[in-house]
Amino acid sequence: EVQLQQSGTVLARPGASVKMSCKASGYTFTSYWMHWVKQRPGQGLEWIGAIYPGNSDTSYNQKFKGKAKLTAVTSTSTAYMELSSLTNEDSAVYYCTRSLLRGGFAYWGQGTLVTVSA
């Protein structure tokens, strides 16, 4: 069974950085792209970017270049996303999600809530 377990709620100050994790199990971590999706309270879904752990190749939504940095550690089957220079606009739930071989994000973590507040 594919499972994605995300790290817990984060409270951060404006201007700070945060790094969250997504531990994968139940499949070959290096064979599928891992994506990250943002959802602000009461708002829609935004694709942030993705990483292919097999070779650390990354792809980003232009909007999040410079804001998000995606990495992965294959020995622990864990993907990470670091968000920098936080503002109130970064307060959101962030999901990691694994795609199917052909499109579609089929498996989702439970989400990490990031709250940015002074």
Partner 1 sequence: ETTVTQSPASLSMAIGEKVTIRCITSTDIDDDMNWYQQKPGEPPKLLISEGNTLRPGVPSRFSSSGYGTDFVFTIENMLSEDVADYYCLQSDNLFTFGSGTKLEIK
Chain center to CA of 13: 20
**DSSP annotation of 86:** -
Whose Cβ is closer to partner 1: residue 29's or residue 95's?
95
Whose Cβ is closer to partner 1: residue 102's or residue 118's?
102
CB of 35 to partner 1, least distance (A): 7
Q: Which residue ranges make up the site for partner 1 (CB under 8 A)? A: 35, 44-47, 50, 59, 61-62, 95, 97, 99-100, 102-106, 108-111
Say which amino acid occupies 73: V
Alpha carbon distance 67, 84 (integer Å): 5
Whose Cβ is closer to partner 1: residue 16's or residue 47's?
47
Half-sphere exposure of 44 (CA within 13 A, CB side): 2
CB of 6 to partner 1, least distance (A): 10
